[in-house]
Amino acid sequence: MKNDVAERNTPIITLENVHIQLGNRTIQEDISLTVNEGEFIAILGPNGAGKSTLLKLLLGLIKQSSGSVRVLGRAPRRGNTDIGYAPQHRVLEADLALRARDVVGFGLDGHRWGPGWPSRQRNEIIDKALKEVNALHFANAPVGQLSGGEQQRLLIAQALLTNPRLLLLDEPLSNLDITHGQEIVTLVRNVCRARNAAVLLVAHDVNPLLNVIDKVIYVANGNSTIGTPDEVITTETLTRLYGSPVEVVKALGRMFVVGAET
């Protein structure tokens, strides 16, 4: 599954000595990293460490204070259709009458009032995305009656509509139980491999992702590092990042970080 990682040498994201500051608060200092085509990477770290902020930087929603940021060979810009983005979501109300396909369609025409004018091409694009996330069978169901995992599939489908080369997913596993979380992980892995797209997925827990991700970007206390999970999630590396003692315990095929701030 990972034997082709070394062959991926097309940079999708390049950060060099990037400093991110919001107001008087420093989010990241001197972050440098490269993400290549086809890589599946998890962004980990405590609450408030800047995981979602890093996605906003790549989307062109905020700018770095210093350093160089290149996304697909250019400076980040808003509305880049080569980037698919699924934001954090809350489970929708049960009485919401919009159909699942209507929610996905907002990725094509959500800037207009209402779900957009129907057309054969538009429906084909939406159906293709729904099929890719295994959601075609509930395409006409009221979205408010779908489970959290099913709703998350719709957000991913929406992010795939423009055939992006880079997929940014902000905490798609939050509010999901273990079974549905694992289904989403497998789905994203399959999309990453089938499209050879780079994927950055923000998460709090690495364990559901251990068997599928290529690398980890760990951010904490204004610091960051990138590498394989075995390289990054170690007592020595996380102690350095947090600036205080951290213990990484490995048991039963899982990793536990003890002593990190929450």
How high is the pLDDT of residue 5? 46
Give tens-digit pLDDT for 228-244.
999 999 999 999 999 88
How high is the pLDDT of residue 237? 94
CA distances (Å), origin 136, targets 38, 116, 184 = 25, 19, 15
How high is the pLDDT of residue 3? 45
Inform me whether the pLDDT recorded for 86 exceeds 70: yes
If pLDDT is split at 50, 70 and 90, which confidence band does 208 have? very high
If pLDDT is split at 50, 70 and 90, which confidence band does 68 have? very high
* Lowest-confidence pick of 53-57, 78-82, 165-169: 78-82
How high is the pLDDT of residue 257? 87
How high is the pLDDT of residue 55? 97
Average predicted confidence (pLDDT) for the chain: 88
How high is the pLDDT of residue 258? 86
Range of the domain at 77: 5-258
How high is the pLDDT of residue 97? 75
- 248/250 Cα distance (integer angstroms): 7
Q: What is the mean pLDDT of residues 42-63?
A: 94
Inform me whether the pLDDT recorded for 213 exceeds 80: yes
Q: Which domain CATH number covers 113?
A: 3.40.50.300
How high is the pLDDT of residue 111? 47
How high is the pLDDT of residue 231? 94
Domains identified in the chain, total number: 1
Q: What is the DSSP string of the chain?
A: --TTGGG---EEEEEEEEEEEETTEEEEEEEEEEEETT-EEEEE--TTSSHHHHHHHHTTSS--SEEEEEETTB---TT-TTEEEE----PPPTT---BHHHHHHHHHHTTSSSS----HHHHHHHHHHHHHTT-GGGTTSBGGGS-HHHHHHHHHHHHHTT--SEEEEESTTTT--HHHHHHHHHHHHHHHHHHT-EEEEE-S-SGGGTTT-SEEEEEETTEEEEE-HHHHSSHHHHHHHHTS--EEEEETTEEEEES---
Give the type of residue at 111: H
pLDDT greater at residue 5 or residue 18: 18
Q: Return the percentage of the chain with pLDDT > 70, whole number.
A: 89
How high is the pLDDT of residue 256? 87
If pLDDT is split at 50, 70 and 90, which confidence band does 6 have? very low
